[in-house]
Every structure is written in structure tokens, then in C-alpha cells.
Amino acid sequence: MKMQSELGVTIQRKAPTKLHPFTKFFRGFETVPTVRRLFGKQTKRVLGALKVEFFSARFGYMGTSDIDGHLLISTHHLADSEFRTVYLDIVHELCHVRQFRKGRPLFYPKLSYVDAPSEIEAYRLTIKEGQRIGMTRRQLVDYLKVEWISPAEHRRLARRCGVGVKRSRARAHRRRLKK
């Protein structure tokens, strides 16, 4: 563990991260056809080895580490968001897990969120899954309305996912988390 002493104080610069087995919190995803298509015969093994880190800051929802491919999940999102939102978010992140395993970048710092190839692929997959579980076009358009994208970006993302709308009237489906 790297220690650094300056200004009369010492800071330990490496902190442990508590990781939990994905399957302790999320069961049955290995039977979802969309997830099986992602990982094929390795589905059970990949999900069995997947780890989750929970964080309790009152912002953010879910993400995938581009260092080791583990999931990061907000405890507030997990506790309070609609079931289908959490479900689709997990499918979305599993797409990123696959991208990570293929050695593809998850983040494109020079591109807008809705233009990143990693996000377009993950959202397309998620919208297909939403259609499979019977969600309406309106619900899916609302699902895509996350508060960190503009109305124009929302329209672009919806169009790319095949649920395009002429005007963006959707309200953010997610509860706005205040700091």
C-alpha cells in the first residue's frame, strides 16, 4: 500500500474495493436469451465470475469498470428504481462487460455519450430486450431519456435504437437524485 506523507499528514493512497458476486444479487440472467446471445456457452461461467461493487453516492446508476470489467451499482438505484429499469440497466451493463472481454473500449472521451459506439451497441441491445419483454415504444423512449443528455441527443439515441421520435417530449424516467 502506497503511503504519502506531506504537509504533516500521511495519506494511504491505495484503498481496497469491496466486490460481491454478481449472482448473489442478480439471479436468472443466464437464462435471458439476450444475455445468452452475448456470452454464448460461456454465459454461466462469465456471470458466475462477474463481480459487483456498490456505491452509495446519491448520483449515478450503473457502470462497468474499464480496468477489470466489474460492475458498479448505486445502492439507491438498486433500492428505488423501477424493476424494469434496473433489469434493462443490467442487460445494458452486461453488453459493456462483453465489450470489455473483447478488448474493446468502453469510453470514448472525445465523443458525446450518445455517439460512443459502446453506448450505441448497449442501448440497441437494451431496447430490443425491452421490446421482447413487452414494453411500449413510449416506455422505451422514456427509458432512453436520462438526465445527462440533451433533448437533441435523446432524439438521436432513440432514432439509432429504432424508436425514433419527431419531438422529444419524454420526461426522464429516472428519479432525479439530489446530492
Residues of this chain that interact with Zn ion (CB under 5 A) are 119, 122
- When the beta carbons of 44 and 66 are compared against Zn ion, the nearer one is 66
- When the beta carbons of 32 and 95 are compared against Zn ion, the nearer one is 95
Smallest gap, in angstroms, from Cβ of residue 135 to Zn ion? 18
- When the beta carbons of 44 and 172 are compared against Zn ion, the nearer one is 172
- When the beta carbons of 46 and 122 are compared against Zn ion, the nearer one is 122
Smallest gap, in angstroms, from Cβ of residue 96 to Zn ion? 6
Smallest gap, in angstroms, from Cβ of residue 5 to Zn ion? 39
Smallest gap, in angstroms, from Cβ of residue 3 to Zn ion? 35
- When the beta carbons of 25 and 148 are compared against Zn ion, the nearer one is 148
Smallest gap, in angstroms, from Cβ of residue 177 to Zn ion? 17
Burial 115-145 (b: 16+ CB within 10 A, else e): ebebbbbbbebbbebbbeeebeeebbbbbbb
Show Cβ contacts of residue 164 under 8 Å, excluding neighbours closer than 6 positions: 155, 158
What count of Cα atoms within 13 Å lies in the side-chain half-sphere of residue 93? 23
The three grid cell numbers given for residue 47, joined into one nine-digit string = 456471470
Please give the residue whose beta carbon sits closest to Zn ion in the complex: 122
